[in-house]
Amino acid sequence: MCIIIIKNNKKLIKTETLLTSAIKNPDGLGILWLDTWKVTYHDSKDYMELKTQRPYIAHFRYATVGKVCRANCHPFHIDDDNILFQNGTVHGLGNKKKTDTQHMAEILSDLPRKRWRSVLEMNDSRFVTANLKKKSFTIYNKEDWITRNKIMYSKDNVLDMTLIGVYGTLKKGYSNYHAHLRTETYVGSGETVDKYPMVIKGIPYLLNRVGDGHNVDIDLFLVDKDAMMDIDMLEGHPHWYQRKRIEVITNKGNVFMPYVYFNDNHDNGEYHKTYTEDVWDYNGYDGYNDYISDECTCANPEPIMDYGDCYCDVCYGTIDKHQQINSITKYM
């Protein structure tokens, strides 16, 4: 429910953090600019306004009390000089039209300034008040905030997110999507800004060679740290596929820099724009066997069993019986 970001320095916040803030809190954005002490209001989709060295206090809203409209975006005026931000909900305040934060601002307006802290910290919400005339602000329930790179966040569910672009079985609705990305945040679909050659030999291989092939179809996802590790393991990064950031333009015209996985080990000269699972079905396990047909040459192979055979989880090469016994013994 909402997030407040306090950036009182020239540091730049990761685009993924701002994008996650907007997706999770789509009901409006309010910004107090700490260099001018002026307030501006925006749609959450205008999150790139915050990709700046300017200092600010920003609030992304997720509506829980009060209707979704510009008038219900934070901050709210307590009086002519003071404004209020909140992340959380004060139960019993607000109604279908008015937010609980606006109601709290009205309560504070009738109280002396010295009582604000005791009233606000009776609740487990995170609050900020700012005095536009004195050019100062106060943070409440400060122990509940998270500081990262000298920037304060009222909650941590927008941090440590990574934007990835997928083009094969991880695409939305496909087989590996259900196993690995179904619970992650789907951002949208698009294509690579530059042309790349994508080879399909049972599974797809995107070659890291700009200018050849097509503008490859991509699905974008925001993933947390655990999911990022999971996808890296699935793709064998960095031993088999290697990921790098490239430009992807969405169907709505937005340009992002997600991580995309490349593999230059297969090039049959036949390049595709998109991957569909009927290609996998058509090629069957011929493509899969080609994927893992080379013999493992690792000094310390990590054996995995698949389809009754043993393969190395580092290089995806086959492991012979002698090597398999020696490798598995170290795990016993």
Active site residues: 235
CA-nearest of 220, 239, 235 to 164 is 220
Kind plus residue range of the DSSP H or E element containing 147: strand 146-148
Q: Are 164 and 220 in contact (CB under 8 A)?
A: yes
CA-nearest of 171, 293, 324, 192 to 250 is 192
Q: How many Cα atoms occupy the beta-carbon half-sphere of 20 within 13 Å? A: 25
Q: How many Cα atoms occupy the beta-carbon half-sphere of 263 within 13 Å? A: 22
Q: Are 64 and 74 in contact (CB under 8 A)?
A: no
Residue 329 exposed, middle or buried by CB count within 10 Å (0-12, 13-18, 19+)? exposed
Handedness of CA 255, 257, 259, 260 (dihedral sign): positive
CA-nearest of 100, 106, 47, 50 to 77 is 106
Kind plus residue range of the DSSP H or E element containing 108: helix 100-109
